[in-house]
Structure 1
């Protein structure tokens, strides 16, 4: 069983900065939001909020554009 990974925010963290920090791209904001429903009201975090950081889902080759294969 995989251990769940959490990030404790610092004052001023935002969804896009957390996504970039852990995944290297802000396009994964939706993944963070879907897995942290209780935090949807937060835009700018205060210090000490625990945010669940899920693993990236594996890309299915059917979902990958041809130019990326």
Structure 2
């Protein structure tokens, strides 16, 4: 599992966005780090576990253009 070292002022949604490009990654990130779930603003140097990022394909592409069919 990868890790992330916080910097002063990091927040869950900001970390999620910087890692995965979306704030929606905040929930799995928090679930992977239950000891810090109550933290709102992080100090410097907290090591967080980063779970695998699920890659979703858009349904708007035809079947031959979707990643799962490649």
Task: Please classify the TM superposition score into its range, dividing by the shorter chain length.
Answer: 0.7 to 0.9
Stretches of 4+ aligned residues off by more than 2 angstroms: 66-69
Q: Which runs of 5+ in 1 are unaligned?
A: none
TM-score (norm 2): 0.75
Give distance in 2, aligned partners of 1:40 and 1:34. 8
RMSD: 1.9
How many equivalent pairs are there? 62
TM-score (norm 1): 0.76
Q: Which runs of 5+ in 2 are unaligned?
A: 63-70
* Larger relative contact order (CA 8 Å, sep ≥ 6): 1
